[in-house]
Amino acid sequence: MKPVKIPIEDVLDLHTFRPRDIPELLEDYITECRRVGIYSLRIIHGKGTGFQKKRVRELLAKNPAVTSFKDAPPEAGGWGATVIHLAPTPQR
């Protein structure tokens, strides 16, 4: 299957992706955000049972580019989204 090119913005809604694709998607998204200078972003994982949120946060905790993450404020999705802060890409 051909990769789907999505615009790099500060919000990524996971509802349109297959759960099995999320680990690689999240890693690539974080890499691209840093490449274009986006260091604060929001991942929308939904409220549901909390499984997707737990999975996303486990992946974020393992990613060295992630400096912090927390629930989004109520007006931005509350516990159905996670706000992430990334370390800037080192200048060469």
Q: Is 83:42 a contact under the CB 8 Å cutoff?
A: yes
Q: How large is the average pLDDT for residues 27-44?
A: 95
Report the percent of the chain where pLDDT is more than 70.
95
Alpha carbon distance 59, 5 (integer Å) = 22
Residue 33 in any domain: the answer is yes
Domain ranges, residue 56: 18-38+49-61
pLDDT at 12 over 90: yes
Residue 57 in any domain: the answer is yes
Residue 32 in any domain: the answer is yes
Q: What is the pTM of this model?
A: 0.86
Which residues fall within 8 angstroms of residue 57, CB to CB, at 6 or more apart?
69, 82
Residue 10 in any domain: the answer is no
Closest by alpha carbon to 8, among 36, 50, 42?
36
Alpha carbon distance 42, 29 (integer Å) = 11
Residue 69 in any domain: the answer is no
Domain count, the chain: 1
Residue 26 in any domain: the answer is yes
Residue 53 in any domain: the answer is yes
Per-residue CA distances from 77 to 13, 73, 81 (Å): 11, 7, 5
Residue 87 in any domain: the answer is no
Alpha carbon distance 56, 12 (integer Å) = 12
